[in-house]
Amino acid sequence: MTNSPIDPVSSDSATIEALLFEDRRFPPPAAFKAASLASGNELYDAADKDLESFWADQAAELLTWSRNWDTVLEWDLPFAKWFVGGQLNVSENCLDRHVEAGKGDKVAFHWEGEPGDTRTITYAELLDEVCRFANVLKDLGVRKGDRVNIYMPMIPELAVAMLACTRIGAPHSVVFGGFSADALADRINDAQAKVLITADGGWRRGAAVPLKINADVALVDTPSIEHVVVVRRTGTDVHMETGRDQWYHDLMSMVSADCPPEPMDSEDLLYLLYTSGTTAKPKGIMHTTGGYLTQVAFTHKYVFDLKPETDIYWCAADIGWVTGHSYIVYGPLANGATSVMYEGTPDHPGKDRFWDIIERYKVTILYTAPTAIRTFMKWGVQEPERHDLSSLRLLGSVGEPINPEAWMWYHEHIGGSRCPIVDTWWQTETGAMMIAPLPGSTTLKPGSATFPLPGIGAELVDDQGARVENGGGYLTLTQPWPSMLRGIYGDPERYRETYWSRFPGRYFAGDGAKLDDDGYLWLLGRVDDVMNVSGHRVSTTEVESALVDHQKVAEAAVVGAKDETTGQAIVAFVTLKGDQKASDELGQELRGHVAKKIGAISRPRTIVFTEDLPKTRSGKIMRRLLRDVAEGRDLGDTTTLADASVVEEIRRRADAAPQED
Ligand code: WT7
């Protein structure tokens, strides 16, 4: 253990305090560096020298355009246009050109269903299915510019549906299969979609999720939908509305596989993806064609050091989130990669399902989320230890700050202490990775997303908008980037107001971060979650990381609860590793551990041991619910031992809450 406690340098005016000290360093292993695509500073230097020609070079190198652009960037803050006048088709870039280059027999997806059924799909087969489904959509009256909604499980037909939309220039709007009928109806209506593509169901933890039944409920209130296409997946009995609903397999048997790609303008709408706030109406985030594909292809290639001929790449997210859009479908296919796609949950039939998949397909690159990693920590090392994970050479993380100890666990127990870890910070709105290491070049620090990628400008500012060069602040983006959102569908004012008004001239992402003495960036969570303890602005992330640093802790969620003396007091909900027992003594030990690690000001007033934490389906901890629980009850001032009623309360409220992302 090389960590040492430090005295927090506290100042009442600090935007967010920087408390956690981390001095472990992991330079790229020599062999990894030698074989990597980017081992030096060339990409950073090129981008620094001339931003526009840097991105233009990437667009020209990584993609195939049917017409060259006239202008690289038109920037009328906050509205950007990239590669103006250029034309390309996304499905052609993802499929046709690889087949034409003789790679038709290369596997695009090793798909595995949760029950254990599998399908291997080559680039030629995927192209054939996409062309046929594009013809199906045309026969249903879908024209360039029409919106198509997709509500499906993680099956190959989901990728087929998205790519078929791009082939004919119809923007898609994928709604995550875990969302309710109401959420689906809202999104269909906002997009005014003409067609809905769904399935009878999907497998999740051994049960069939009733997608078509949910869709039927939504369809009562969605007058814009003219046709519904249903994929048979679970075999569940479903109602098929005459004149509206048709089976995918029936439609596919009636069409040809000849469907030339529609040339699209670089700035044509590629897709909408909705992000929900806690209360407000969901925002339809707009992504367009040329810039988006450029940045997802660029980041997928260099951040994952992708060798398409030899790598087996697995992003374990759901395609219903932006991670799946950019790093299961568009990035990997644009780069001609071979991917694994998995339908179900990591604990079905056993808690070693991921490690079993990695062993069988010889996965070389794994991209997953901190919430999954901490769950694996809770389940214990015996699960990965039963499997040969030696094929892995690189690991990735996305979705939340990764606590240093979770990073170390991932590094040792999954990566065999040999794989670099790329912690990638980005958002639905950014479309692609923004802050992340280049694994052959960057020396890693556990828990830091390191530096902005080449071509990306990020700075911290304080409450007044003044630049912060060391310590905590608000994370802002300082220049346009190719895959940036182009707006909120139907609401340009809300776009300006939400992202560009807090700090003039800057995009504000909603996250806090800190810069250390070496210029490394550390994400500190959403600024709405920052706690104010006796005038000190303490990030939830740092207290959580200090708790996870204790060897008995797997996961922690920290919230500020109203407190008469300190303004807010820290209440920590803690989940222990599999074999550990909660006790009053352990609660005291943990409080002391936090104080020692990051300072007395951050000592939790209360520790609540729980078996689980309430999370969204994308894995983010619902701190708002925990705050309600912490404030709504008298939780005492030290330790609450596995209080069943508190746990129940959390669970009940998490279940009743609308599913947010
Ligand atoms: C928010 C965006 C990016 C795809 C998945 C989530 C948090 C994301 C990291 C990271 C710390 C992260 C931020 C961000 N976040 N990646 N590597 N380190 N925080 O997309 O649902 O739009 O959420 O997720 O808070 O703002 P999203």
Three-state SS string over 507-526 comes to: EEEEEEEEECCCCCEEEEEE
Under 8 Å between Cβ of 599 and 7: yes
Compute the distance between CA of residue 97 and CA of residue 257 in angstroms, rounded to an integer.
16
Contacts of 577 (CB under 8 A, 6+ apart): 377, 378, 380, 551, 552, 553, 554
Query: What is the per-residue pLDDT across 145-197, written as a single tens digit (0 to 9) for each?
Result: 999 999 999 999 999 999 999 999 999 999 999 999 999 999 999 999 999 99
Number of Cβ within 10 Å of residue 146's Cβ equals 21
Ligand 1 center from residue 161 Cα (angstroms)? 26
Q: Which pLDDT value is given to residue 631?
A: 85
Under 8 Å between Cβ of 420 and 29: yes
Alpha carbon nearest to ligand 1 atom 17, residue: 425
Continuous segment of H or E residues that includes residue 98 = helix 97-98
Ligand 1 center from residue 427 Cα (angstroms)? 5
Pocket of ligand 1 (CB under 6 A): 275, 321-323, 398-401, 423-428, 449, 509-511, 523, 526, 618, 661
Ligand 1 center from residue 543 Cα (angstroms)? 19
Under 8 Å between Cβ of 322 and 283: no
Task: Find tokens 């997303």 and name the residue.
Answer: 449
Ligand 1 center from residue 276 Cα (angstroms)? 14
Segment 582-608 shows an average pLDDT of 94
State which ligand 1 atom lies nearest to the alpha carbon of 423: 17
pLDDT-derived band at 614 (thresholds 50, 70, 90) equals: confident
Specify the CATH architecture of the domain 527-656: 2-Layer Sandwich (3.30)
**231 DSSP 8-state letter:** E
Compute the distance between CA of residue 187 and CA of residue 197 in angstroms, rounded to an integer.
14
Under 8 Å between Cβ of 478 and 459: yes
Compute the distance between CA of residue 350 and CA of residue 340 in angstroms, rounded to an integer.
19
Sheet holding 148-151, edge to edge: 245-247, 227-231, 195-199, 148-151, 172-174, 269-275, 283-288
The tokens for 91 are 């499905």
| Nearest one of 314, 305, 321, 308 to 273, comparing CA atoms | 321
| Nearest one of 616, 617, 619, 551 to 408, comparing CA atoms | 551
Q: Which pLDDT value is given to residue 143?
A: 98
Task: Find tokens 């951040």 and name the residue.
Answer: 303
Task: Find tokens 């374990």 and name the residue.
Answer: 316
The tokens for 550 are 């204790």
pLDDT-derived band at 526 (thresholds 50, 70, 90) equals: very high
Query: What is the per-residue pLDDT across 540-578, written as a single tens digit (0 to 9) for each?
Result: 999 999 999 999 999 999 999 998 888 999 999 999 998
Q: At residue 372, does pLDDT exceed 70?
A: yes
Compute the distance between CA of residue 124 and CA of residue 107 in angstroms, rounded to an integer.
9
Task: Find tokens 């701190």 and name the residue.
Answer: 623
